[in-house]
Amino acid sequence: MSAPEKPDIPGWFGLRRVMDWSKARWLGSLLSVVVFVLFVMAVTAAGWILLHAIFDLGLGTPRTGFGTGAVIVALLGAPFVIWRAVVAQRQADIAQEGHITDRINTAVQGLGAEKEVSAIGRPVTIWTGKPKTVVHLVENYDEFTPPPRSVERSRYHDITEVDPNYGDDVFDGLHVELTTWPEDRTVIEWQGKSLDVGEAEYIGPVGDWQVFTETVPNLEVRLGAIYALERIAQDSERDHVQIMEILCAYVRENSGREDLNLPIGEPTPYQWVHWASPNLQTSRLDVDAALTVVGRRSEARKQHERERGYRPEFEEVTLHAKVIRRADLTGADFFSAQMQGIMIGHMKLNGARFRLAQLQAATFISTEFKGTDFTNAKLDGAFIRGSEMDAETKFEGASLEGVALHRVDLTKVKQVAEHLEVTFGDGSVTLPEGCDRPTHWPKRELELQEFREAWREWLTLRECGEPPEESDD
């Protein structure tokens, strides 16, 4: 117990000490029995005094007196005193509930706090989508109008056979090769910061430098609001679930990255892995704080959630290439979450649901997956090391192509057997009984760096269409 800020007599007598009513529960029951017995004895004694005053029971005491009057007054006033105590307690409860409601409303308002900042930037149009290259036959270049969002690659004279239905059999003239993009988007390039452009994208028209006033989240205020909500959840069990819902909704709405572009088309595991590494970054401070608060709730609050049938809800959350560490998100629901390239370390995800989640190129380090549901999830190119699974871990309908397994015990995970041929592992992986080890897996346990290099080399061979070689290691 911490000492009071200012020494005083109530503190000296220990009256400021917060009692822990969860201890010595039997003593409360015993005290209730004693108080009930004393109450019955008091009522009985009062009844005898009244009967003696009315019928003279021969108790050897005066039938009337100060004591008799006091008993009558007490009995008449007792219902009013009890009623006043009940009303006062009810008023105190209403005031406390109103105070907590005000605290929640104030904190929720803080979650939307914004501020204006000024910076020098310029508008830049980026042509995006899958580009298409076409050679145009141009009779008169001065009258030729290129399609929108096009870049001229080359210009040359040549003879080309053409459809006779449209004129001559051959075209002898100017050929213009153009690459055209189907869509465009406009972003602001801030002075001193590089512009993030995807591999297949192209920088189109660029505007002039100017001063932009931008509205951005006020992280300082939002952090205070998040921690205020955590305090309320600790103080009020009644409001705990509601606050967890608020924080989960906040993460879902604020975790996206507008500056990050996913690979185009249907990327292979090799492409996912090479996309994830350079794009990895930590979550924004407020989002990271909200995840931390949800991940460190007490065991008593988790039990309360189970009794209420509640689980943290992160459905369709966007956490592309984010880093999340040391949180307990047991039982959380990540249905259809967009978590490509995420790095998760030293976390508890037991009983979590990742149904239809996009987890390509995700990294899981020392993570607990007991009873975790990966039904129909995409884990292509994921890296799993030192993580725990059990017989309740589900991979039904999941895609595990190109997954790396290092220091993982799969003894009880029967469903993974059908995916082993498209995964990469080494001698550190324990397989289910009766399950053959793939021939392209090294037989011995590799050190981490050596394992990563061997895995990436194997992915490269698959990307080139070469069959995996039998490992002699």
Average pLDDT over residues 260-272: 90
pLDDT of residue 166: 56
Give the pLDDT score at 398.
96
Q: What is the pLDDT of residue 1?
A: 39
What 3 state SS string does the chain have?
A: CCCCCCCCHHHHCCCCCCCCCCCCHHHHHHHHHHHHHHHHHHHHHHHHHHHHHHHCCCCCCCCCCHHHHHHHHHHHHHHHHHHHHHHHHHHHHHHHHHHHHHHHHHHHHHHCCEEEEEEEEEEEEEEECCCEEEEEEECCHHHCCCCCCEEEEEEEEEEEECCHHHCCCEEEEEEEEEEECCEEEEEEEECCCCCCCCCCCEEEEECCCEEEEEEEECHHHHHHHHHHHHHHHHHCHHHHHHHHHHHHHHHHHHCCCCCCCCCCCCCCHHHHHHHHHHHCEECCHHHHHHHHHHHCCCHHHHHHHHHHCCCCECCCCECCCEEEECCECCCCECCCCECCCCEEECCECCCCECCCCECCCCEEECCECCCCECCCCECCCCEEECCECCCCCECCCCECCCCEEECCECCCCHHHHHHHHHCECCCCCECCCCCCCCCCCCCCCCCHHHHHHHHHHHHHHHHCCCCCCCCCC
Q: Which CATH architecture has domain 255-283+319-463?
A: 3 Solenoid (2.160)
Q: For 443-450, what is the mean pLDDT? A: 94
Least Cα distance to 399 among 268, 271, 276 occurs for 268
Is the model's pLDDT at 75 over the cut of 70?
no
Residue 27 has pLDDT above 90, yes or no: no
Please determine, for residue 274, whether its predicted confidence score (pLDDT) is greater than 70: yes
What pLDDT sits at residue 61?
62
Which percentage of the chain shows pLDDT scores above 70?
A: 87
Span of 87-91, 283-287, 427-431 with lowest mean pLDDT: 87-91
Out of 90-94, 105-109, 223-227, least confident range: 90-94
> Does residue 56 register a pLDDT over 70?
no
**What is the mean pLDDT of the segment spanning 356-376?**
97
- pLDDT value at 331 more than 90: yes
Ranked by mean pLDDT, the top range of 197-206, 367-376, 458-467 is 367-376
Task: For the chain, give the mean pLDDT.
Answer: 87
So where are the chain's domains? 9-97, 120-214, 255-283+319-463
What is the model's pLDDT at position 348? 95
Q: Which of 31-45, 58-72, 132-146, 429-443 has the lowest mean pLDDT?
A: 58-72
Higher pLDDT, 120 or 51: 120
Token representation of residue 55? 């019928």
What pLDDT score does 312 carry?
96
Give me the half-sphere count of Cα atoms (radius 13 Å) on the Cβ side of residue 377: 31
Specify the residue for token string 């943290």.
312
Task: Choose among 174, 87, 95: nearest CA to 135.
Answer: 174
Q: Picking from 183-187, 278-282, 356-360, 451-455, which range would have the lowest pLDDT averaged per residue?
A: 278-282
Name which of 195, 212, 207, 175 is nearest 128 in CA terms.
195
pLDDT for res 472 = 62
Percent of the chain's residues with pLDDT above 90? 60
Instruction: Please enumerate in sequence order all residues whose Cβ is within 8 A of that of 368, keeping only pairs 6 or more positions apart, or say none.
Output: 347, 348, 349, 350, 387, 388
State how far the alpha carbon of 140 is from the alpha carbons of 143, 314, 448, in Å.
6, 58, 62
Per-residue model confidence (pLDDT) at position 55: 66
Q: Which residues contact 314 (CB under 8 A, 6 or more apart)?
A: 248, 251, 252, 332, 333, 334, 337
Question: Does 3 score more than 50 pLDDT?
Answer: no
Residue 202's pLDDT is what? 94
Task: Work out whether the CA dihedral 291, 244, 366, 403 comes out positive or negative.
Answer: negative
Angle at 25 between CA 29 and CA 330, to 5 degrees: 140
The mean per-residue pLDDT over the stretch 393-412 comes to: 96
Lowest mean pLDDT among 124-128, 253-257, 328-332: 253-257
pLDDT over 80 (residue 442): yes
Closest CA to 322 of 361, 378, 374: 361
Give me the count of residues in the chain.
Answer: 473
Q: How far apart are CA 12 and CA 71, in angstroms?
A: 38
Q: What is the pLDDT of residue 319?
A: 94
Q: 346 or 6: which carries more pLDDT confidence?
A: 346
Residues 6+ apart with CB under 8 A from 436: none
What pLDDT, on a 0 to 100 scale, did the predictor assign at position 4? 45
CB atoms within 10 A of CB 19: 6
